[in-house]
Structures are given as C-alpha cells and as structure tokens.
Structure 1
C-alpha cells in the first residue's frame, strides 16, 4: 500500500504515467496496473486521463494533499534512522562486571574513546548480571557460558581462576595439599566467586567448595589487598592477581589442583539492528581482548 501511495504522488507530480515510470524505474504497464489497483481499493477514480496529461480528480487532489506530507515525514524519519545507524557518533551503553571492566579491559575504554571521539560511552558496572533490555544497553560483557539464544554473542577469551595466599600467611598456617584442607584455613571470599571449583590435574577429579569466608567483599582488588596482607586464602581470577604473583606478594596454592576457567563473552540484543557505533566498539573490544595474554591462556574445565 505504501509503495502504491508513493507511486500515486509521483504520477501527480510528474503529470504522466510514463514520467512516473521512468522516475521510479518500473515498466509503464506496472504503473498502470498499480494505479488501477489503488483506485479499486479506494472505490473512486483518482485521475482524469487524457492523451497528453493526467490531472487529479477532486477526490484524487484531496488524497494527494493528505498523503504527500505523510510520505515526506516518513522519508525524513527513514533518512534520520539510517544516519543514526551508520554514523560513528551517538551514545553506546555498555554493561560490564566491575572486576573485568577495571581489570583486563581497563585500558580498552580510553583507547576506544581516543580512536572514536564522536562516540559517547556510558558504562554501568556491576558484578551482578543486569537486565540488558530493561537498562537499554547496547552491549554487555559477561563471564561464564551464555545460554540465552535471544542475544547475539562473541567470545572474547577466558579467565583462569587461581587460589592464592601470601607467603607469610602460608608459613603460619597448616599445610595445604587438597581442597578439603581449606576447611582449616581463613578464607577470603570475593564476590561473585562464591563457589570454588577445582580439577585435579592428573586424575581429573573434581571438588567444589562453597566457602563461608573469614572475610567477604564484593570488590576484587580489596580482596587481593587483604590476601597480600596475610588475612587468608583467596580464590579469584588470575587477571586480578597477576602483578601480586609476579612480585611475590602472593603465591599460588594447591598447584596440583587447577581452579575453574570461565569464558568471557560480549552480548547484544538480536532484536535490534546493531548501529555502526556499537559494531566498531565490539570489533575494537575483540581486537583488544586478543592482545590480552591472560584472556588467552589454555582453558581448563569450567
């Protein structure tokens, strides 16, 4: 129906079927057929036909005057939407875990904004999964397997968890040889890592612990500080303790048991067409993640 309205307006403005057909790049016979179909649907004649020119009837003139501004408004809206989808400007809203956004992806945000200065970036950081559709987010970074098929997803890498403690703490506490020994230790629980999973490297035996925690916090870097200070044993992503392990402030515990590895994904609503500004952010995110060694270590069981 919309195409037929556009055709009728073009006939009135060009004054002939042939000119309208040429402007729309369709056969003249097609224009005639579609005009007749429109007149039949409306139940009235829209045009006076003559050998030289076609003029609107009284009903046709009224119909033209009502349809033309609507078509122009629709065209302007379509052009505006097209520009919004294809220009590298506007706002991109991203949801991400605090520990990832301020950890392995910390330098990403500045490098992206320096490369695309016309794009405004809004980050909402939380260690709990937020509702993408409810928050109006364009993209989310999530840890763990993502089973919801209503979202598009791109794997960015994986984060290996490690069990660590300070050398001073380990010297003053009972020896650790198996995960069950952790029951005798002071434990630091850093949310969202509230379940500790281990795989024995030789036998592939699995053990899982839900620790109560001598100290519990929802911010990972404070948990790392507490572990470095000798407060207890910490289970956390390797990305959060890489510097402390390298400097010797922390050491890995239970080397015969490998802590779980969690994949990292970028997600976006499949129900929306992805604007160019979101596409370049996703592409830049994938490229930056590929350069992060700690996100590309050999994966273990999740």
Structure 2
C-alpha cells in the first residue's frame, strides 16, 4: 500500500498520469490499475479524471495533504539510515580487554582512527566480558571460547601461554625441569588464568593444576611486574611478557612443554553490519594476521 500511496502523491505532484508514469518508469495502465486498487482499499475516489484534466477529489486532496509530508519524512529517514549503514563515519562503540588493548592492539586502533577521520571511537576497556546488548556496543573483542548463540563471531587470532621467571629468581631457586616441580616454587597466580596446563612434546603426558599462589591477583600485567622483580613464577600470555623476555628481564621456562592457546574473537550483535563496523572488523583482522604474537608465535626468539 505504501508504494501505491507514493504513486498517488506523484500523480498529484506531476499533474497527470502520463507524467507520473514516465517518472516512475511504469506503463500508464499499471499506474491506473494501482491507483484503482488504492481507491478500493480506502473506499473512496481520490482523483477526478477526464480527457483533458486531472484533479484530486476533496477526499483525495485531504489524503494528499496529510500523506505527502509523511512520505517526505520517511524518504529523509531512509536516506539518513542508508548514510549511516553505508558510510564510514559516526560513533563506533567497542568493548575490549584492558591489557590487550593497551598493548598489541593499540596501534590497530590508532591506524584505524587515522584512516577514518570521521569516526568517533568509544572504546570501553574491561577484563570482564561486559554485556554487549546492555552497553549498546557495535563490536567486542574477547579472549577465550564464545558460547553466546545470540552473538556472531569472527576469530582474529590466538595468544600463546608461557611460564616465566626472572633471572634473579632462577639464580636463587633454580628452574623446574617438570611441571610437577612447580609445587615447590613460589607462584604468582592471576585469577583469569587460575588453571595451568602443560602437555609434553609427544602429547603423552598432560599436567593440569589449580596452583595456590604466593600472590593471587586479578591483573596479569601486575603479575608480569612482580615476576620481573623476582617474586615468583608466572603463567601468562606471551603478548604481555614478550618485551621482558626479549630484554632478558624474564626467562621462559619449560619451553619443551606445550601450553593451551587462547583464542581471540571479535563478536557483535547485529545480523547486518553497518559499513563502519565491517571496516573496523576487517582492519582488526588484517592487523592480527600480520602480527606474529597474535598468531600464537613470537616476533623474535624468546
């Protein structure tokens, strides 16, 4: 009915069926049939037609005057929505982990903002999986399995887990030769990584533990600092300690044992992504693919 209403308004605007038909690229007979259909639905005649003239009936004029502004407003709203969906501008709301965003992903956000100056990025950082719907977020970066069936997802990469300690700690306490020896060491345990798992190179032995730490904390970055100061062994993402490893402030332990890789995902609530969200998603995916530390590897040998 909405399309037929638009055709009726066009007929009145153009002053003739033929002109409105040319504007709509429709045969005049089709336009006449659709006008008659609209009149049948409304139960009144909208136009007085003769061989030489066409003008609205009183009911048609009233209908035209009331509906034309509504159609104009609808067209403007549709154009605005189309603009929002298909242009890379406006506000983008993103939820992301604190340490990953401050570290490896910071250049990705910076290069995205530089490439798209009309984007306003609202970046909310938290190490908890905040509710995407409640925050009205367009996109969220998450680490670990994603089980919410209401959210769509794309895997960006993986983070390798490593066991590290400072040279000073190892000089005083020695290095473990087997994961079971960790029970005799001072351990720094972060709550997001309360389970430590190691698998032998041949895959025949797996050791899994929930260690009791000398220090339990909920911030892994602080754990790296404490480990650098010789206060214990730390099980943490390579992304957070790679600089300390490269500088020699930390040493990797049990390198012959495999540790789980933590998956990194982008998740979003909408079925049809606006172009600005798709652009950020592709930008993050390309950045992650080009960054060895986000693909389960090291930029340099540790």
TM over 0.5: yes
Q: Give the match for residue 274 of structure 1.
A: 273
| Corresponding residue for residue 81 of structure 2 | 81
Aligned residue number for residue 66 of structure 1: 66
Q: C-alpha offsets along residues 238-275 of structure 1, whole Å, 9 cap, x if unaligned?
A: 1111111112211112223211101111112234x322
User: Which residue does 2:11 correspond to in 1?
Assistant: 11
Correspondence 1:232 to 2:248: no
With over 3 angstroms needed to count, the CA separation of the structure-2 counterparts of 1:197 and 1:51, relative to structure 1, is same
Q: Please, which runs of 5 or more residues in structure 1 have no aligned partner?
A: none
Using a 3 Å threshold, how does the CA distance of structure 1 residues 126 and 15 change in structure 2: closer, same or farther? Answer: same
Q: How many residues align?
A: 298
Offset of residue 151 of structure 1: 2.5
| In structure 1, distance between residues paired with 2:238 and 2:161 | 5
Structure 1: distance between partners of 2:87 and 2:211 = 49
Give 1:204 deviation, angstroms. 4.1
Specify the alignment match of 2:44 in structure 1. Answer: 44
> Equivalences for 1:147-162 in 2 at 5 Å?
147-162=147-162
CA distance, structure 2, for counterparts of residue 207 and residue 176 of structure 1: 14
List alignment gaps of at least 5 residues for structure 2: none
CA spacing shift, 1:203–1:281, aligned 2, 3 Å: closer
Aligned to 2:192, the other structure's residue is in SS state coil
Q: How does 1:15-34 map to 2 (within 5 A)?
A: 15-34=15-34
**How high is the TM-score relative to the length of structure 1?**
0.93
Partner of residue 293, structure 2: 294
Inter-partner Cα distance in structure 2 for 1:257 and 1:112? 37
Q: In the TM superposition, what are the counterparts of 1:104-119 in structure 2 within 5 Å? A: 104-119=104-119
Distance 1:52 1:191, change over 3 A: farther
SS at structure 2 position matched to 1:258: coil
2:131 corresponds to 1:123: no
Q: In 1, are the aligned partners of 2:238 and 2:293 still within 8 Å (CA)?
A: yes
Shift of 1:144: 1.7
In 1, the alpha carbon distance for the partners of 2:119 and 2:178 equals 50
- For residues 132 and 179 of structure 2, the distance between their equivalents in structure 1, rounded to whole angstroms, comes to 37
Match of 1:185 in 2: 185
Which stretch of structure 1 is more off in the superposition, 147-156 or 118-127?
147-156
Give the aligned partner of residue 216 of structure 1: 216
Offset of 1:298 from its aligned partner? 6.2
Q: CA deviation at 1:32?
A: 1.4
> In 1, Cα distance between the equivalents of 2:190 and 2:125?
16
Deviation larger for 60-69 or 142-151: 142-151
Deviations 1:142-186 (A, max 9, x none): 112323343232221110000111122123336523322222222
